[in-house]
Amino acid sequence: SKSPSPRQNMPVRYFIMKSSNLQNIEISQHKGIWSTTPSNERKLNGAFWESTTVYLIFSVQGSGHFQGFARMGSSIGCEKSQDWGSAGFGGVFKVEWIRKESIPFHFAHHLLNPWNDNKKVQ
């Protein structure tokens, strides 16, 4: 039900979203929302408006796994959520979870990030 947009010929973008705990990811999977630090908001909003699709790949810091991935479903607004109970987060935005599964980093070690000195994606 998405209408055509001026971004339909733009590239797909991917971001690794690091969470400090699993509870935040579980809240996101249940409610279909996410919030990030204000320093990330500009990058994500720019990607949302300039790309056809923005995929967010989630990982809890120190877990050695990805916990799944989602599609960014809206731009980031000013509305904040009390769900995370932490100061320092910016506005809330919609995410559409595609896969909710714990995947060890070693399954992705063949993927290298050319914008991060060809380091492994994890």
At 7-20, the pLDDT tens digits run 555 689 999 999 98
Domain that holds residue 45: 12-120
When divided into structural domains, the chain yields a total of: 1
**Looking at the domain assignment, is residue 1 inside a domain?**
no
What six digits make up the tokens of 70? Answer: 């989602």
Backbone angles phi, psi at 48, to 5 degrees: -60, -45
**Is residue 82 in some structural domain?**
yes
Give me the numbers of helices (H) and strands (E) for the chain, helices first please: 2, 7
Is 7 within a domain? Answer: no
Residues 19, 81 contacting (CB under 8 angstroms) = no
93 lies in some domain: yes
The model's pTM is 0.83
pLDDT in tens, 32-82: 999 998 889 999 999 999 999 999 999 999 888 889 999 999 999 888 888
For residue 50, give the CATH number of its domain: 3.10.590.10
Is the pLDDT assigned to residue 4 strictly greater than 90? no
